[in-house]
Structure 1
Amino acid sequence: MTRSQSQPAGGVTPVSRRVMNLSHFLRQAARRHGGRIGLAWGERRWTWAELDRRVDAMAAALAARGVTKGDRVLVQSKNCNQMFESMFACFRIGAVWTPANFRQTPGEVAYLARASGARAMICQADFPEHAAAARAEAPGLGLTIAIGAAGFGEDYGALVQAHLGESVPVADVEHDDPCWFFFTSGTTGKPKAAVLTHGQMAFVVTSHLCDLMPGTTEADASLVVAPLSHGAGIHQLVQTARGAKTVLLVQERFDVEEAWRLVETWRITNLFTVPTIVKLLTEHPAVDAYDHSSLRYVIYAGAPMYREDQKHALAKLGKVLVQYFGLGEVTGNITVLPPALHEPEDGPGVKVGTCGFERTGMQVTIQDPEGRELPPGETGEICVCGPAVFAGYYDNPEANAKAFRNGWFVTGDVGHLDAEGFLYITGRASDMYISGGSNIYPREIEEKILAHEAVVEVAVLGVPDRAWGEVGVAVCVLRPEASLSEPELLAWLQGRVARYKLPKRVIFWDSLPKSAYGKITKKDIRQALAARGELPAGTTAD
């Protein structure tokens, strides 16, 4: 489950690597800023002191029902105060927080319950089928707690009320004790549980404060526009470490105008999201209707932002964009491109297309498939080492063997470094296709297509072809009222893209499928192309 640890040098006898239990972040905020608002959701407010007491109560309730250190607690919930609290309650007793994306199906959540070996489940009342499926699939899941009025499990609110004023000893933890099972999206198979630890996550929080949002204090406020189950949960943990308040959207469905209204109301200083959401936020008329001058950091990750979208966002918001590159397995900590390096116009010295330089304490290398380091400018696999790298995948030695090579974590992304150490991502290794013997990386072609004024979104993918091995297909979404044909776009690409890289087909859809985190999902596009019969002649679906 864990990566190998090197032996201490100099003959020093290994000793316990005890570290701070992450729930201490909340205790610190309650001690120093107890009367300040820590969390806001609609008309409701909770101070740091109230949150700490509620977390103590839920931790006591879990402990009284037999949940102990190392037990996994599956959480199926939309963003809410109980979702926020459940993280710290699990940490406090040494249990492992195991959140599911609330948009997953009952069968998918049941798989997570079984794969994680969950002992308990906290489930919002909106998801009775998920609770039933998880109990049926995971025989060790003996405790269910319901958030809200439900026909299953014990009531979360009643448990908190019953145990208010109680506390349990904060669990002693060592560096590699797990605190969070961070499930991957499963775009290339079943989701895997990346094991995040107390020691690793303490470094991640420190690095985020250092690299992504320096100067963050209790006077700041963060808006949550993504599920707390994944990246947004990490960012709210960072806010807690500095006593900065977290503000949740009221609506379940992402509402751009509500987001900008909350930015103005709460004087939001930072938010975390993905490029597609930044695009929605900055292209909506509400961006000009509300005061967003308080924003200092609009942090985006999950994919590099296309240059045209980046320019537009900078024109609307100013130099507040922060990009980081990372995966759940490295908890975002690979590279950073800070606001000062987000230039609104191309020109001499501007590094267009980079996702930044190495994060503090982290090292990046570009390797060939045999693990040999490649020089600047050469494309290969992006590999990383450092304290932010996870402990490994839970109960999955085969996946661990593939993920680590000579101590480096192999990200699965392809790119190159320049002479100054700035990283450029070409795409996922799985996205690359070979046409006529030439390696083709879709991202380069997508960037060119998005420079056309009529195109708002695009995905390029390789499909099998009897003559060429594979050929490219570009699926485009046009701006409202725009008009563009396949021959027109292909003619426009002539001279902008090498001839051998030109897509064989260009197809126009009203929208592209996206994951629960706002990422374009090429797996779903591929399936839809086959189902619609839109694959080029001579190609096959797989």
Structure 2
Amino acid sequence: MNLAHHVPDSARTYPDRPALRIEDTTVSYRALDRDSARMAGLLRDRGVKPGDRVALMLPNVPEFAVVYYGVLRAGGIVVPMNPLLKSREVLYYLRDSGARSLFAWHDFADQASAGAGQAGAEATVVRPGAFDELLESASPLDEPTDRHDDDTAVVLYTSGTTGQPKGAELTHANLARNCDIAVGGLFRLTADDVIFGGLPLFHAFGQTCTLNAAVASGACLTLVPRFDAAQALGILDAHGVTVFAGVPTVYGRLLRQPGKEEYDTSRLRVCLAGGAELPVQVLYDFQTAFGCVVLEGYGLSETSPVVCVNTQQAGPRPGSVGIPIPGVRVRVVDDGREVPPGETGEIAVRGHNVMKGYWQRPEETAATIRDGWLYTGDLGRLDQDGYLWIVGRKKDVIIRGGYNVYPREVEDVLYGHPAVADAAVVGIPDPDLGEEVGAAVVLRPGAHATAEDLRAYVKGQVAAYKYPRKVWIADSLPKGPTGKILKKEIVPPAGR
């Protein structure tokens, strides 16, 4: 299950079909195969051997795919990195992974080069035109280097919400099998499909469900380096996008974009939401506005990433994240004991999607993967039919006066208010209760609501101990590269 075989296989079957599209530029499968073979040859000439790590700091541009598959073709291990990292962070990633080579987009060259220099790694600045000349100078490596199913393909760093980022070792089999499920059971992709490529490709969601899924099926991936709602609608129209994958923030922005009705999005047939919890109201509103089914799923970097998903075959259940994908088991546990359906506990996962471990962290691997089960740190419950419902992270539970308050439940209520665009519920230290429930809220453009209005709205829909006593209106909420709200960076205003 060598991921690198996907490119030549599709090139043989669909040589002249578009593999990648960005603005007015199209890259065929024949060209992607040629350039990734040259990239592999370049790495070989530079002394990169099978198992060596090669880092990428590239946005969603065709060069990402060329370098990504070139590294895999040479038998190397890809270390994808956020292009916005600063030199200190670049240094950490390179030292931790042991990557001796870094390919960085020209817009971010200063920080990338500075970090690489401190790490003693070689930094190659990727500029269109100059990069093409560099590839042309290399002798191609036509056949992918043999790698075993359990060989590491990608070291994908977690977001670091529980400390320093850790590198999840994802094998060729992890990623290839997750990709196959996205192609067949989830999206039912064919070479006639056009996939919206707005998810960051340095993240597992973007890699598996857009890049690898497109290449494995011969579909076209239309690349978007930076999401803008108006531009995205234009791409859906002009490129005839049929498959869309995004985080909840993106769905909300598309819904709120003025003039969205003027774009032809009729070819859109299926959407996938993940990366964070999708408010049920947003799901319903999007399906109504765009006439397209939205399937919410659940996963994490350590699971390649998909664990569960709603499917059209099984019947979606809005509010849940669906059922486990084929070959994967999910259970909910409390103190090591599997709890009955309907009860809340920690989500544990077992199957072909579970990572090999954390890169060079045997103790943390052993703490996370026990008896073959990966303990996610997420809280959820399974219903009688096996659908998983996410409640929150263990660390996110607010314990107010001895009562557990799950932020997801309160946030869902807030999102139901017509004035609310974004909401995050957090625990605030309280000398009496231990923690008080707080809510940071961003209003929709032109909408009006006071903190007291929102507090009263929630109070009328949840138990007395759950509603947020402290509510404040914010201009925006801090978000990570995938659009996930970073709750640890939310600080209540003074006096709240």
1:144 to 123, 126, 134: 123
8 Å CA contact 2:302, 2:355 repeated in 1: yes
In structure 1, what is the Cα distance between the partners aligned to 2:234 and 2:242? 13
1:33 to 11, 14, 21: 14
8 Å CA contact 2:296, 2:320 repeated in 1: no
1:383 to 333, 344, 348: 348
TM-superposed CA distance for 1:233, in Å, is: 2.1
**What pairs with 1:329-408 in structure 2 (closer than 5 Å)?**
329-339=302-312, 351-368=317-334, 370-408=335-373
**What pairs with 1:193-272 in structure 2 (closer than 5 Å)?**
193-214=167-188, 216-230=189-203, 231-234=205-208, 235-249=210-224, 252-272=225-245
In structure 1, what is the Cα distance between the partners aligned to 2:128 and 2:264? 38
Give the corresponding residue for 2:144. Answer: 170
8 Å CA contact 1:40, 1:46 repeated in 2: yes
| Deviation by residue 1:215-257 (Cα, 9 ceiling, x = unmatched) | x1111111111221112122211110011011113xx442222
Give the corresponding residue for 1:5. Answer: none
Give the corresponding residue for 1:97. Answer: 78
SS at match of 1:126: helix
Residue ranges of structure 1 left out of the alignment (5+ in a row): 1-19, 344-350, 537-542
**What pairs with 1:45-60 in structure 2 (closer than 5 Å)?**
45-60=26-41
8 Å CA contact 1:57, 1:159 repeated in 2: no
Give the corresponding residue for 1:478. Answer: 443
Q: Which amino acid aligns with 2:206?
A: A
TM-superposed CA distance for 1:491, in Å, is: 2.5
TM-superposed CA distance for 1:323, in Å, is: 1.5
Q: Which amino acid aligns with 2:212?
A: L
**What pairs with 1:420-439 in structure 2 (closer than 5 Å)?**
420-439=385-404
Are residues 261 and 41 of structure 1, via their aligned partners in 2, closer, same or farther at CA, if it must alter by over 3 Å? Answer: same
TM-superposed CA distance for 1:342, in Å, is: 7.6
User: Percent identical across equivalent pairs?
Assistant: 35
Give the corresponding residue for 1:6. Answer: none
TM-superposed CA distance for 1:453, in Å, is: 1.9
TM-superposed CA distance for 1:438, in Å, is: 1.2
In structure 2, what is the Cα distance between the partners aligned to 1:213 and 1:169? 29
| Deviation by residue 1:321-353 (Cα, 9 ceiling, x = unmatched) | 12110001112321111257787xxxxxxx442
Q: Which amino acid aligns with 1:137?
A: Q
8 Å CA contact 2:83, 2:105 repeated in 1: no
Give the corresponding residue for 1:13. Answer: none
| Deviation by residue 1:342-394 (Cα, 9 ceiling, x = unmatched) | 87xxxxxxx442111111111110001x3111000110001110101111110
Q: Does 1:65 align with 2:46?
A: yes
Give the corresponding residue for 1:15. Answer: none
Which structure would you say has the larger Rg? 1
Give the corresponding residue for 2:5. Answer: 24
Q: Does 1:122 align with 2:103?
A: yes
Q: Which amino acid aligns with 1:213?
A: F
Give the corresponding residue for 1:85. Answer: 66
In structure 2, what is the Cα distance between the partners aligned to 1:199 and 1:121? 25
In structure 1, what is the Cα distance between the partners aligned to 2:258 and 2:298? 29
Are residues 258 and 481 of structure 1, via their aligned partners in 2, closer, same or farther at CA, if it must alter by over 3 Å? Answer: closer
SS at match of 1:163: coil
2:116 to 112, 115, 135: 135
SS at match of 1:501: coil
Give the corresponding residue for 2:455. Answer: 490
8 Å CA contact 2:332, 2:345 repeated in 1: yes
Give the corresponding residue for 1:348. Answer: none
Give the corresponding residue for 1:7. Answer: none
Count of aligned pairs between the two proteins: 494
Residue ranges of structure 2 left out of the alignment (5+ in a row): none
In structure 2, what is the Cα distance between the partners aligned to 1:257 and 1:494? 36
TM-superposed CA distance for 1:211, in Å, is: 2.9
TM-superposed CA distance for 1:168, in Å, is: 5.1
SS at match of 2:99: coil
**What pairs with 1:515-526 in structure 2 (closer than 5 Å)?**
515-525=480-490
Give the corresponding residue for 1:533. Answer: 494
8 Å CA contact 1:72, 1:117 repeated in 2: yes
| Deviation by residue 1:245-277 (Cα, 9 ceiling, x = unmatched) | 11113xx44222221222122211112110110
In structure 2, what is the Cα distance between the partners aligned to 1:458 and 1:245? 35
TM-superposed CA distance for 1:48, in Å, is: 0.6
| Deviation by residue 1:449-477 (Cα, 9 ceiling, x = unmatched) | 22222222111111221101111111111
In structure 2, what is the Cα distance between the partners aligned to 1:37 and 1:352? 34
In structure 1, what is the Cα distance between the partners aligned to 2:227 and 2:128? 24
Q: Does 1:285 align with 2:258?
A: yes
SS at match of 2:465: helix
Are residues 110 and 425 of structure 1, via their aligned partners in 2, closer, same or farther at CA, if it must alter by over 3 Å? Answer: same
Give the corresponding residue for 1:3. Answer: none
Are residues 494 and 317 of structure 1, via their aligned partners in 2, closer, same or farther at CA, if it must alter by over 3 Å? Answer: same
1:506 to 442, 455, 471: 471
TM-superposed CA distance for 1:79, in Å, is: 1.6
TM-superposed CA distance for 1:106, in Å, is: 2.1
Give the corresponding residue for 1:305. Answer: 278
Per mean C-alpha deviation after superposition, the further-off stretch among 42-51 and 480-489 is 480-489
In structure 1, what is the Cα distance between the partners aligned to 2:304 and 2:2? 18
In structure 1, what is the Cα distance between the partners aligned to 2:104 and 2:117? 15
TM-superposed CA distance for 1:66, in Å, is: 0.1
8 Å CA contact 2:90, 2:116 repeated in 1: no
In structure 1, what is the Cα distance between the partners aligned to 2:276 and 2:116? 35
TM-superposed CA distance for 1:426, in Å, is: 0.6
SS at match of 1:260: helix
SS at match of 1:500: coil
RMSD between superposed Cα atoms in Å? 1.8
In structure 2, what is the Cα distance between the partners aligned to 1:494 and 1:169? 63
Give the corresponding residue for 1:274. Answer: 247
8 Å CA contact 1:477, 1:512 repeated in 2: yes
8 Å CA contact 2:183, 2:216 repeated in 1: no
SS at match of 1:53: helix
